[in-house]
Structure 1
Amino acid sequence: MKAFVAAAGPKLFLDETSVLDIGGCVVDGTDIAPGRAIPDDGDPRIDHSLEGFLFTCGPDHIRHPEPIPGDATGRKFPLHGSYSGHPAEILFWDLQGEDAECKARVPVKTADGGEALLERHWRISGETGEVCLSDRLINVGQVPFARVHMYHMNIGAWLFDQHVRLSGKMLEGGGFPWNFGEEPGGVFCVPARVEGEDWAEVALGPIASLGGVTLKVKFKTDTLPYLQIWRNQQAPAHVLGIEPVSHRWVGREELAASGELQMLKPGESAEYGLRFCFA
């Protein structure tokens, strides 16, 4: 892990061994990443990613394993797709005044024989502390693959008290307590796009254990039109996930039948954007 920090904002630890995702995220002296307070899904690759504050799901599959169409051996797309475990090549890493910035490229082999290139650009504003992630995904192979993408932002829920709430225009009633639903947890996925707005915003807070700050997350809704929220308090798990995502929470077959499972053809690209801050 390599420390990535500006004059303001969180101290991030970026994982060069896995897509340059975020491992540790230190806020007010506390690493808010869940660590081992996660479920064990039997995939060491994903266990490693889930331990961190943010990992990227895709580019060929999101969510749980499903069969690869036409594969005679019965292989499945892996849990949360093929991104995790692919190392990043750092192109630029520096402080720009009080800001921090880095760029990287991540070659990715997809489960169904495709080749992708993720161009990743991280920035932290030294003035506001806002973290910005810009991703460009290019199909550099010879076969198309599904254009699916999800950012998992995972927070250790032991940090929350009864006053912590989720809020956002896409949520029922504008928001509700972080420990929604029945115990020991659950998941929901809702449309996030608002007419006339290019970015959606969801907030989590105030978090008293971190000095009363609120986590504010924004994401581009042209390519990430849904928001998924997941929490799991079944021991040893104690985690909440904020997950901007490209598609509804249904299986590939249903998405394909409805025309939602668009393919990224050779030479085509897709862009994704995420911002977050603690304020």
Structure 2
Amino acid sequence: MKAFSAARGPTLFLDETSVLDIGGCLIGDIDLSPGRAIPDDGDPRIDHSLEGFLFTCGPDHIRHPEPIEGAADGRKYPLHGSFSSHPAEILFWDVQDGDAECRARVRVTMASGEPALLERHWRIDGATGEVTLSDKITNSGTKAFAPVHMYHMNVGAWLFDDHVRLSGKMLEGEGFPWKFGADPGGVFCVPAKENGEQWAEIALGPIAAIGGLTLKVKFKTDTLPHLQIWRNQKEPAHVLGIEPVSHRWVSRYELAEKGELGLLKPGESIEYGLRFSFG
């Protein structure tokens, strides 16, 4: 893990062994990542990723395993897709005038055996402390594939008290307490795009453990038009996830049947964007 920080904002620990996702996310000396307070899905690479504050699902699959289309041997897409465990090649890493910036390239082998390329750009604004992530996925293979994408932002929920709320225009009543639904947890997925807005915003807070700050997350709605939220308080898990996602929460079969999967042809690219800050 490499520490990545600017004049203001969090200290992030970026994982060079796995897509340059975020392991630890420190505000002062408090790490918001869940660590081992996560469910064990039986896939070591996902356990490793899920421990961190942010990991990326895709580019070929985003949720639990489903059959690979056209695979005669019954193979399935791996849990949360093929990204996790692919090492990142860092191209640029610098801090100038209080801003921090990093660029990396990740060559991915998808479940089909075909390649894809992730070009990743991290930036922290030293004046505001806002973190920006820009991702570009290119089909570097010879066959078209359905691009899917999800950012898992996972927070250790032991940091929360009863005053912590989820707030956003896409939520029922524009917000509710973090411990939604029935215990020990649950998940929902809602449309995030309203009135043609290019960016959607969801907030989680105030979090007393980090001085009453609120986590504010923004994401590009052209390619991430949905928001999934999950929480799990079934021991040893104690985690809440904020998950901007490219597709609604139904099977691949239904998405394909309704023409919602889409295809990325060889040489074509698609871009995703995420921002977050504490204030």
**TM-score for the superposition, normalised by structure 2:** 0.99
Structure 2 matches for 1:172-251, cutoff 5 A? 172-251=172-251
Corresponding residue number in structure 1 for 2:278: 278
Query: Identity percentage over the alignment?
Result: 77
Hey, what does 1:65 align to over in structure 2?
65
Deviations 1:153-210 (A, max 9, x none): 0000000000000000000000000000000000000000011310000000000111
Contact 1:90 1:105 in 2 (8 A): yes
SS of structure 1 residue aligned to 2:34: coil
Q: Secondary structure at the match of 1:26?
A: strand
Residues 28 and 211, structure 1, Cα contact 8 Å, conserved in 2: no
Match of 1:21 in 2: 21
> Contact 1:100 / 1:124 at 8 angstroms: preserved in 2?
yes
| 1:17-49 alpha-carbon deviations (Å, 9 max, x no partner) | 000000000013101100000000000000000
Task: Give the match for residue 151 of structure 2.
Answer: 151
CA contact (8 A) 1:40 1:47 kept: yes
SS at match of 2:255: helix
Equivalence for 2:112: 112
**Which letter does structure 2 place at the counterpart of 1:222?**
D
TM superposition shift of 1:113: 2.2
- Provide TM-score, normalisation by structure 1: 0.99
Distance 1:30 1:157 in 2: 13
CA distance in 2, matches of 1:196, 1:153: 24
Per-residue CA deviations over 1:221-249 (Å, capped at 9, x if unaligned) read 00000000000000000000000000000
- SS of the residue corresponding to residue 145 of structure 1 reads coil
Deviations 1:59-101 (A, max 9, x none): 0001000011221221100000000000000000000210000
- 2:75 aligns with 75
* Residue-pair matches, total: 279
User: Partner residue of 2:261?
Assistant: 261
Question: Stretches of 4+ moved more than 3 A in 1?
Answer: none
Name the amino acid aligned to 2:22.
I
- With 65-74 and 78-87 compared, the bigger mean Cα shift is at 65-74
Equivalent residue letter for 2:110? T
Amino acid of the residue matched to residue 106 of structure 1? V
Does structure 2 retain, via aligned residues, the 8 Å contact 1:3–1:14?
yes
Unaligned runs of 5+ in 2: none
Number of the residue aligned with 2:7: 7
Partner AA of 1:136 in structure 2 = K
